[in-house]
Amino acid sequence: MVSKLENTTKSIVIPSSIEHIPEVEQFIDEVYNEYNFSKEIYGNVLISLLELVNNAIVHGNKKNPEKQVTISALVEKDILVCRVRDEGNGFD
């Protein structure tokens, strides 16, 4: 489920399970297609976000499928800001 907020932010919420990683890849593709950033940036964003989401699932939420991971992408002019949030305790 991808939603667009305030014409500049897109977000997705997934259960804390590795099986949902393809949804994150699709989300990144949608952001890439909508905002048309360079292929180099696309590759960097893809690798970085997949690693962050994997860490949120494994380390933050301890693979608990009842917890969620939220991924958001904010595009303002020529700046892309991505955030990954989990429901774990500890590191912020």
Q: Collect contacts of 4-10 with beta carbons under 8 A, ≥24 apart.
A: 8/74, 8/75, 8/76, 9/72, 9/73, 9/74, 9/75, 10/34, 10/72, 10/73
User: What pTM, to 2 d.p., does this model score?
Assistant: 0.85
What is the pLDDT, as a whole number, of residue 4? 45
Could you read off the pLDDT of 64-90 as tens digits, one per residue? Answer: 999 999 999 998 877 889 999 999 987
Q: To 10 degrees, what angle do helices 39-55 and 21-35 make?
A: 150
Could you read off the pLDDT of 7-54 as tens digits, one per residue? Answer: 568 999 999 999 999 999 999 999 999 888 888 889 999 999 999 999
Q: How far apart are CA 19 and CA 59, in angstroms?
A: 16
Helices (H), 1-92: 21-35, 39-55
